[in-house]
Amino acid sequence: MKEFFKSAFRHIFHNKVYATINIAGLAIGIGCGLVIYKIISYESGFDSYHKNYLNIYRLINEYNDPVLGLNYDEAQVHPLGKALKNDFPGIDAVMCFYAAKGQITIENKDGTSDKFMENSGLAYAEPDLFNIFDFQFLAGDPSKALLNKGSMVISSSLAQKYFKLSPRDVDEALGRLIIINNKTSFQITGIISDPPDNTDLPFKIIADYSSQTASNPYFNGGTDWNEYNSATNCYLLLPDGISAKDFEKQLVTFFPKYNDKKSGLEYKYVLQPLSELHSGKIDNYNHRQTSKKKLLILGIIGLFLILIASFNFVILSTAQAADRFKEIRIRKIFGAGRFQLILQFLGESIMLSYIATAFAGLLIAHFVFVYIKDIIGYKLSPGFVANTDSLIFLIFAGLVVGLLSGLYPSLTISGRNPSRSLKTFLPTKNKPRSQGIRNALVIIQLLISQLLIIGTIVMDLQMSYFLKTDLGFNKDAILISTLPGDNIDKLKVIKDDLLKNPGIEMVSFGTRSPLANWKVNNEINYPTLEKDIYFGNLKTADEDYFKLFRLKFIAGENYSSRKNTGDAVVNRKMTRLLGFEDPHDAIGKKFKYGRDGTEFTIVGVLEDFHSESLQNPMDNVIFSNLSFNIKEMAVKFSPARTNLNNTKETIDRIKAEWAKLFPDNIFNYSFFDEQIANMYGEEERAANLVQLFAFIAIAICCLGLFGLTSYIANQKIKEIGIRRINGAKAAEILITLNKNLLIMEVIAFVIACPIAWIIMHKWLQTFAYRTGLSWWIFVLSGIFAFGIALLTVSWQSWRAATRNPADTLRYE
């Protein structure tokens, strides 16, 4: 064993440059592999900490959409939970919740009050929430916490923030009162630990379900079977003896019993496992999902990184095989068998791999974790002490990489016949077979790099398409603010006051901005639509809305300032749906909307615009000047006063006007262009990750090419000297040394193009609106890849080609 280590370290120190290249490449590959493993573990482990994880399901709706085909949505009605418990006695744990955002008011003992705006984490839930999911109670009884009207459970961090308590004194918040949206007072009946980061149900304020009128004016006592809302979800816990498929069969007759009006849409209830909540096709409370395809792609990239690093090891080891013939000859003369030699070289490979693994875990992974924190939006670390999975990964990765990297070189080197070498100490050249294997591995490296470069370019183009495509409206310099629900009569006053400010050009009120992730979606009724049922996106908007957002009229005109006239402005897609190719023909036509059959008259038609993200197709959009469902205020800043100082001054003026008219409400705002950009956050994170790891893969590949070129140049140093003496120019020698790289790059490019086209074409098909796969993308990536590879090897080749031949032949 002692001789083994001495031999291994002797070989490493004798070949410091190539050992360093191998260790660096393996360390980067394994370190990035660990990072990707932790990302995949984190994303795929959402909510897995619940003890009933495998038996928890969300009830969702499956239906046939005439445009999209088989589709799903999560919206449910309020009485669903009670009906399920009544009709299925074996299902004891069923819970509906209504998610909301709201203003929290804390009345202090000195008569003052503190106000907080909670844009997430607020939910109204039925008591079975705590029977289905695991919430750690620090104070209070989970079985009674939500039984009474006006009861509430809050997290430890909020108890500290609201009542200025220390972590040890959070139980003192029990019995205290919280007011939501200046409407309803709730008494705190429980304190829970803050939910972990990897949950799609990060509730921090949980109020009793029957009191949701504080946030939801359409609750109607929780008995309305027609009030579907995407913020209302239903979860249940299946007993061990009942499978999801069997229960879905029982739900076939349950649906029409309570949903007669929906039967025409071929609706039915299906169960979505909690394990699919984070990767499913429909939204979840957290509004953040990572599909299994994305994780698979990320995992493949991680595997590529490790393979590229391992290939570097194999390439350099086989290239150096001739240098070890003397050692092999001497060992065999003293009786060493081939198996013993294989163990020797495999041991060296594994030792080198574990040295690299140590650097990977202690240095590379930590650096990458810090760098990607802003990219992925959360903090990760190897956590060797708290989470042994990182340590197991490194131990396993080091062993596997060491074996895979060292197996072929050890078989090749140990299998050489030393008999011919006994006559001379000159090393024999590498066999054509070894060189062929080496070239094949280089081609695979270049192929992987080419695929990643093409993928990065396409993903960047798609993100640019998302952010730069004309959406059909203006999005710049527009502030969006959430309106208080009970102060509609004051809207005209604040509008008039704000318009006196020279920094404000226009003000408008409506349900939502033209492009929003929330909408009112109901059926459109018109004689031409008797066979199929289509949905329309209804937006309340005042008469200034279209001018503020610069929506273009192509037929008819705007409606008046009068409320509830039944006049409607629709988009071009809507008129085509109704059967009018010429939008002017739709003016004056009447249609009905929603279950109540509200009648609208078309007075204007807008050019089509995107009312949802470009991932989804366009909606049939309906605008009307209604007196209800007014949720937001849009403020358009004057173009001449949009620099930083003027913008800040204008916002301060808006806040001052807001405080005068709505003193009990926090001014909650954001900018419209930022809202739109945030819609593509998940895609942007994925693109940035691929871009980062593509760069790292190219760097590892270049590291190997540098080492290989350096070795080949040193091996051919005398040949180059003879060529120089015989009149060869440096440029000719440079071409001779690099021509193999050019050939291998061309082969990799030819193979990569069709593979990349298929992969990226399928990826782009997941978006309703997408960029094209133009030929120049592939040409540009090929030029880029070849340029990087050429720059990597040219320095060593140029040094060898320009070296004084007298120095190379001095000792010949």
The yes-or-no verdict on residue 330 having pLDDT over 70 is no
**pLDDT at residue 801 in the model:** 59
Give Cβ neighbours of residue 688 (< 8 Å, ≥ 6 apart).
375
Give backbone dihedrals phi and psi of 184, rounded to 5 degrees, phi first: -125, 135
DSSP assignment of 650-682, as one string? HHHHHHHHHHHH-TTS---EEEHHHHHHHTTHH
**pLDDT at residue 486 in the model:** 65
What is the rounded CA–CA span in Å between residue 234 and residue 236?
Answer: 7
The yes-or-no verdict on residue 48 having pLDDT over 80 is yes
What is the rounded CA–CA span in Å between residue 423 and residue 650?
Answer: 91
SS3 643: coil
**pLDDT at residue 266 in the model:** 73
Handedness of CA 62, 63, 69, 72 (dihedral sign): negative
Give the tokens for residue 505.
């050009």
How far from 506 is each of 544, 549, 655, CA to CA, in Å?
Answer: 8, 10, 16
Q: Give the per-residue SS3 of 439-467.
A: HHHHHHHHHHHHHHHHHHHHHHHHHHHHH
Question: What is the bridge-based pairing of β-strands 598-606 and 567-571?
Answer: parallel
**pLDDT at residue 733 in the model:** 66
pLDDT above 70: percentage of residues in the chain: 84
Give Cβ neighbours of residue 648 (< 8 Å, ≥ 6 apart).
none
- Count of CB atoms within 10 A of residue 146's CB? 26
Residue that the structure tokens 């090749």 belong to = 412
Question: What is the bridge-based pairing of β-strands 478-482 and 177-180?
Answer: unpaired
**pLDDT at residue 811 in the model:** 45
What is the rounded CA–CA span in Å between residue 585 and residue 570?
Answer: 13
Helix 730-764, helix 717-725: angle, nearest 10: 130
Work out the pLDDT band at 422, boundaries 50, 70, 90: very low
What's the predicted TM-score (pTM) here? 0.85
For residue 513, what is the DSSP state?
-
Give the tokens for residue 72.
């799903």
Give Cβ neighbours of residue 703 (< 8 Å, ≥ 6 apart).
21, 24, 25, 28, 312
CA geometry: angle at 802 spanning 801 and 807, to 5°? Answer: 100
What is the rounded CA–CA span in Å between residue 464 and residue 340?
Answer: 58
Q: Could you read off the pLDDT of 161-179 as tens digits, one per residue?
A: 999 999 999 999 999 999 9
The yes-or-no verdict on residue 797 having pLDDT over 90 is no
Average pLDDT over residues 397-416: 75
What is the distance, to the nearest Å, from the Cα of residue 163 to the centroid of all Cα atoms in its chain?
36
What is the rounded CA–CA span in Å between residue 798 and residue 732?
Answer: 11
Radius of gyration of the chain (CA): 34
3-state helix, strand, coil in the chain (%, to 5): 50, 20, 30
Q: Could you read off the pLDDT of 224-247 as tens digits, one per residue?
A: 888 888 899 999 999 988 899 999
Q: Could you read off the pLDDT of 649-679 as tens digits, one per residue?
A: 899 999 999 999 999 899 999 999 998 888 8
Beta carbons of 533 and 68 less than 8 angstroms apart: no
Q: Could you read off the pLDDT of 49-108 as tens digits, one per residue?
A: 999 999 999 999 998 877 777 888 899 999 999 999 999 988 889 999 999 999 999 998
**pLDDT at residue 339 in the model:** 67
**pLDDT at residue 204 in the model:** 96
Give Cβ neighbours of residue 428 (< 8 Å, ≥ 6 apart).
322, 325, 416, 420, 421
**pLDDT at residue 427 in the model:** 44
Q: Give the per-residue SS3 of 220-254.
A: HHHCCCCCCECCEEEEEECCCCCCHHHHHHHHHHH
What is the rounded CA–CA span in Å between residue 782 and residue 746?
Answer: 8
Give the tokens for residue 195.
């939910």
**pLDDT at residue 11 in the model:** 62
Which run of H or E residues covers position 806? helix 805-808
Please return the burial class of 737, using the count of CB atoms within 10 Å of its CB with bins 0-12, 13-18 and 19+: buried
The yes-or-no verdict on residue 553 having pLDDT over 70 is yes
Work out the pLDDT band at 760, boundaries 50, 70, 90: very high
**pLDDT at residue 619 in the model:** 93
Q: Which has more confidence, 446 or 541?
A: 541
Give the tokens for residue 627.
């007196």
SS3 334: coil
The yes-or-no verdict on residue 604 having pLDDT over 90 is yes
**pLDDT at residue 379 in the model:** 87
| pLDDT mean across residues, the chain | 85
**pLDDT at residue 390 in the model:** 86
Q: Give the per-residue SS3 of 477-509.
A: CEEEEECCCCCHHHHHHHHHHHHCCCCEEEEEE
Q: Which range, 302-311, 324-333, 335-344, is most confident?
A: 302-311
Q: Could you read off the pLDDT of 377-393 as tens digits, one per residue?
A: 888 887 765 578 888 89
Give backbone dihedrals phi and psi of 760, rounded to 5 degrees, phi first: -75, -30
